[in-house]
Amino acid sequence: MEAFVVSLFAATFRVASPLLLGTLGELFAERAGILNLGIEGTMFFGAFVGFAVGSASGSLWLGVLAAVISGVLSGFLMGLLAVTLGVNQHVSGLGITLFLTGLSLFSYRLIFGEPKVPPSIQPFGQFSPFEGVPILGQLTEQYVLTYIAFALVPIVWWIMRRTAYGLQLRAVGENPEAVDAAGVSVAGMRYSALMFGGGLMGAAGAFLSLAQLGSFTYGIIAGRGWVCIALIIFAHWKPIRVLWGALLFGGVFALQLRLQTTGAQLPYETFLALPYLVTILALALAGRAAAAPASLLKPYRRE
Amino acid sequence: MRRIRIERAPAPLGLRLAIPLLAVGVTFALTAVLIVLAGARPLEGYYYFLIAPLASRVSALEVLVKSTPLLLTGAAVTVAFAAGYWNIGAEGQLYAGAIAGAWLGVVLHDWPPALAIPMMLLGGFAAGVLWALPPALLKVKLAVDEVVTTLLLNSVVLFLVSFLLNGPWRDPISGWPQSPEISSSAAFPKLIPRSRLHLGFLVAVVVIGVLWYAMSRTGVGLKLRATGLGFRASRFIGVDVNKTLLGAALVSGGIAGLAGVGEVAGIHFHLIDALSPGYGYTGIIAATLGGLNALGVGLAAVFIGLIETGSQNVSRALGVPAYLGDVVQATLLLVTLAAFILQNYRIRFSSDRSRDNPSSGELVEGEIP
């Protein structure tokens, strides 16, 4: 029983890592007033670029860097549509997801062909600073990227709450007119939020291809981007709450994987669907309007 | 001296009609890069992509087969978007319809086709409505954003399908994760022998026709479009906005459900988890490309069907990955979105005197030497 619980918690941290990275990325965008539905595609593209560069160069970290850059570029593309052109954010975000998904699959096929066994690389290893200590050693046996993901939570909180940049970012999402009147570029803030957030989404994808799997597959993201969209509402757009949400969702996923192998009575799909249903329920109870940035979804035009 | 300025005003009609064509041209220019990267010549690529599928009767009919679900999801998205209800859930509603079709197709095995087939359509529509109901109710009762809820239900329905196919509906004979084959009396008849074109295409054409009529010629359509233009103004002129939104959301779900029934009863005859390669999302492309006008959406859906068929062709003939089709569709969507911005602006050349006209909000001004 103890071994089961310890391995469940260790797995929870692992599963929560890409969710954390993706949701913190989306947090930047939404706090600045842009709903970035390109997240699913940006993560997919990041997973692909990370794997392609990682396997071509032989350096996993170069792969991560490339994935982050690919995410920054995806964020820039979203900015072009949603900020500069002021296009509907739902449709442009979905369009970016479709575009990046198609582009990744096309490029993957072009580079790697159609091998029977998908190509793979030696992924990141896990390590623990408490090697040999019972329980604690097993719990902290994680990827470096997991440590980075969790360290980003207080960092993002600090940026949002304690820096001038964070204040301006939140103000852009609440009242862009005021920010504009104060002489800060609304478009510039929104671009920076989208590109910074996109970088985190790219890293989330690279976590899956370079740490968790060591390969790139068609179903590598499998709706995790949409989970991040749900998580952010669940977390009321607050970084610390994102942490709890990601751990909760990660825990349910990890539990589900274990129940699948033990042959439990309930079908495992019930557990997979649970986070989605809980989010919808949370939305119904809280109502989205309560906590969402006031100017979310509204393009800014100086009148 | 002559001045040039860009005003925020409707562009001339000619330009507005030319925008989709312009978007198609720009898209092909951009995606030509990928064809070159794949080691083929762009013109040759686009021949196999766009012309070759229409050259033979078999593949031309296949274009219509591929466009059948897109006509329906495109129509579904159009109804919702036109009313200002952002239904991203056509994919999930399609699967809900498919589940109903797979179930009814087995249950109705002793019904004559003349009764079983209408029942299939009705059941698929109802299932789509049912799957669209929770987000719609949350929207009108509690003002919960429908984008997130409809999107999340797309994932939930896939788990439901996976549960059914791995559990109670697993094919007892083959053991494959697919539902038992539907009975022949519930299968859609072929419209043309020795092709895959089935009754679903006719249904889709009728839906597009009815949608066009309802949107442009009836009071209901007028209320729908008024709601889409602005909730507050619509309330002011006496439109029951919540009722309109609810109606649009449910009809949208029902039409998407029909697409699911069509794929089960006309193409696969089983429920499988890969029933739709994202027809619900592609429907959003068709609806946007068609400018939320039923006839435009119909044309766009057939055009996307051509791209889908053509991408298989390019892959076979030139070895360019068939995913090129997905990239072309998505690029087309993004370029169209950007191009539609053009239709709100008008470039005007004027002499100095007419500058004093205060009516227009001028944005950019420059001088032509």
pLDDT of residue B346: 67
Check A223 against B155: CB less than 8 A apart.
yes
Q: What's the burial of A254, exposed, middle or buried (CB within 10 Å: 0-12/13-18/19+)?
A: buried
pLDDT digit string (tens) for A245-296? 999 888 888 887 777 766 666 777 887 788 788 778 877 876 655 578 888 8
pLDDT digit string (tens) for B26-56? 999 999 999 999 999 999 998 998 899 999 8
* A103 closest CA partner among B20, B305, B30: B30
pLDDT of residue B356: 45
Query: Mutating which of B36, B148, B154, B314 best tests the A interface, going by the most A Cβ atoms within 10 A?
Result: B148
pLDDT of residue B184: 92
pLDDT of residue B1: 57
Tokens 């909730």 — which residue?
A: B231
pLDDT band for position A213 (cuts 50, 70, 90):
very high
Check B333 against A99: CB less than 8 A apart.
yes
List chain B domain ranges: 67-304
pLDDT band for position B360 (cuts 50, 70, 90):
very low
- Asked if B73 and B207 touch (Cβ cutoff 8 Å), the reply is no
* B186 closest CA partner among B127, B109, B251, B257: B109
pLDDT of residue B263: 97
Predicted structure pTM score: 0.91
Check B323 against A109: CB less than 8 A apart.
yes
Sheet strands side by side (includes B345-351): B345-351, B2-8, B362-368
Query: Which residues on adjacent β-strands are paired with residue B190?
Result: B198
DSSP 8-class letter at A131: T
Query: Mutating which of A269, A278, A297 best tests the B interface, going by the most B Cβ atoms within 10 A?
Result: A269
Domains and their CATH numbers in chain A: 2-121+133-290 (1.10.3470)
Phi–psi pair at B286, nearest 5 degrees: -60, -45
Angle between helices A268-286 and B146-166 (to 10 degrees): 160
**ipTM value:** 0.91
pLDDT of residue B41: 92
Check B155 against A226: CB less than 8 A apart.
yes
Nearest to A283 among B138, B156, B166 (CB): B138
Residue B269: other Cβ atoms inside 10 A: 22
